[in-house]
Amino acid sequence: MARRILFPTDGSATAKAAGRFAADIAKGEGDTIVVFAVAERADIGGVEDVGVSQGIAEFLQRIVDDEAAALTALGVSATSEVAVAAKADEEIVKKASEIGAHAIVMGTHGRSALARAVIGSVADRVVRHADVPVVLVPLVKE
């Protein structure tokens, strides 16, 4: 049975490692990976700067398109999407539900508990709110 895997990315090296991991999972099973990025709304003084938000979305579209092409080159079915939203974690959980994802595979920067408490962690919040398994892939430095 083919599954759908949601792969949120920000284009970082950590996210790329998660993409390779998702490809390894999907390769032999005929799964589809949805490469997904969220452009968080650029609010300035409580008002969205639509031009900035759109510019970020266009930049992220190039990233997800490139990542989907790289996954396709590895023999995996991949599509790409970008959304503009207030909070990335909420949009990732929503997208997983919309596409009927069987799992979410995403990178984690491995911040300390103090850093997570101060700046938060998208991955942390996705794990807490997703209705499907979430695989967190750290960047392994060689």
96-107 confidence digits (pLDDT tens)? 999 999 999 998
Determine the CATH number of domain 8-138.
3.40.50.620
Handedness of CA 46, 51, 57, 63 (dihedral sign): negative
Residue 137's contacts (CB-CB under 8 Å, 6 or more residues apart) are: 14, 17, 18, 21, 105, 106, 107, 108
Q: How far is CA 86 from CA 39, 47, 83, in A?
A: 8, 12, 10
The per-residue pLDDT for 119 is 41
For the chain, list residues with pLDDT below 50.
112, 114-119
Determine if the pTM surpasses 0.85: yes
Q: Give tens-digit pLDDT for 64-78.
A: 999 999 999 999 999
The per-residue pLDDT for 36 is 97
Distance between CA 21 and CA 30 in Å, rounded? 15
